[in-house]
Amino acid sequence: MSDERKAKSNTSAAERVGGSVKKTEHKSDEPDFQTLLHAWLESHRASLVDSVSRLFKQPIGSFFTCLVMAVALSLPMGLALLLDNVERLGGSWQRAAQISLFLKLDIDAARGEKLRDEVAALPDVAEATWISREAALEEFQQLSGLGEALKELPENPLPGVVLVTPEEVDKDKLEALRTRLAALPGVEQAQLDLLWVERLTAILKLGDRFVFGLSLLLIATLLLVIGNTIRLHIENRRTEIEVVKLVGGTDGYVRRPFLYMGALYGLGAGLIAWLLLAYGLGWLNEAVTRLAGLYGSDFGLAGVPSGDALSLVIGAVLLGYIGAWLAVARHLSELAPR
């Protein structure tokens, strides 16, 4: 907008010194704010239309550029979505970090249920479940395959158990809670198995870091791809740029169509990446649900959340714009009129 304002003042200056224009013609060169705004919008519209038409003039080339960018975008995004699914598969963290309170053998069901209620009322506890000695034995018989042998035992060797689901998964807080629960009357042992939780957390953190590193690498690749594509467009329009500069086009005016082009490449890439991810996850999901079914689970991969899809497209547009801006900034100074 400032360019056009300056243009106004300079056009007027030209008329003052030039004297080449009849007095009646001068009036049309005094645009008001609305006219300037319209001119600015018109200039953007023209740049956008020009960029779109240039992309469609080379549909195959444009498509493959978008496709390369889309693959670069969909790889880290796809991995991030898979990691989300793995986290979901691992169950909620609260469930993963349950504390098992093994009660003394002389604790009967009534006292066990009372203890369950006391534990459930504690502030750091989300849920507490009572498993009676009989229920524990029945489950063990089913899971161990030693059902007949266990029937031969003179009495049930298993204690009653209160399963405690903590409010928050924090190693220090969980350890403190376990110590507190172990001190409760009637509790023989309080067991907290955090090792596998820690391992899963470490694996997921590694995965997150890998996705982050890969994202940085592929964003750099994407900027290079868009930068190189825009550089070729600039080379193809070298004469036009030189002429535009000679007849008074500002750097902003020269830059504008290339920025739109970069953003349009980004938009195309974002949409293709979205489609690739949606179809890719759908295709993978068939195998995953079949495998999960064999384990008696109804687990399935979640698709691309609409929020993530929108972020993907907006991010792609921004990356395209930034890549184009960097390319134009680098090459514009080389395109001074000769």
Partner 1 sequence: MIRFEQVGKRYPNGHVGLHELSFHVQRGEFLFVTGHSGAGKSTLLRLLLAMERPTSGKLLLAGQDLSRITTAQIPFLRRQIGVVFQNHQLLFDRTVFDNVALPLQILGLNKREIGQRVMTALERVSLKDKALQYPADLSTGQQQRVGIARAVVHRPALLLADEPTGNLDPRLAAEIMGVFEDINRLGTTVLIASHDLALIARMRHRMLTLQRGRLIGDGEAS
113 near partner 1, rule: CB under 8 A: no
Helices (H), 237-250: 238-246
Q: Which of 107, 252, 124, 255 shows the shortest CA–CA distance to 181?
A: 124
**What Å distances lie between residue 234 and 57, 83, 241, 330, CA to CA?**
16, 40, 8, 11
By CB under 8 A, tell whether 235 contacts partner 1.
no
Q: Nearest-CA neighbor of 263 among 223, 221, 322?
A: 322
Nearer to partner 1, 18 or 296 (CB): 18
- Kindly state whether residue 300 participates in binding partner 1, applying the rule CB under 8 A: no
- Contact with partner 1 (CB under 8 A): which of 40, 63, 93, 140? 40
Residue 36 interacting with partner 1 (CB under 8 A) = yes
Q: Where are the beta strands (DSSP E) in the chain?
A: 99-103, 125-131, 161-166, 187-192
User: Is 105 one of the binding residues for partner 1 (CB under 8 A)?
Assistant: no
Q: Which of 4, 113, 124, 308 binds partner 1 (CB under 8 A)?
A: 4
Q: Which range in 9-17, 103-111, 171-179, 280-288 contacts partner 1 by CB under 8 A?
A: 9-17
Residue 228, Cα to own-chain centre: how many angstroms? Answer: 26
Query: To the nearest whole angstrom, how small is the minimum distance from the Cβ of residue 269 to partner 1?
Result: 26
Binding span for partner 1 by CB under 8 A among 7-15, 178-186, 219-227, 297-305: 7-15
* In contact, 270 and 309? CB cutoff 8 Å: no
Asked whether position 48 contacts partner 1 by CB under 8 A, the answer is: no
How many residues would you count in the chain? 338
Q: DSSP letter at 160?
A: P
Binding site for partner 1 (CB under 8 A): 3-4, 6-7, 9-11, 13-15, 17-21, 25, 28, 31, 35-36, 38-40, 42-43, 46, 239-240, 242-251, 253, 336-337
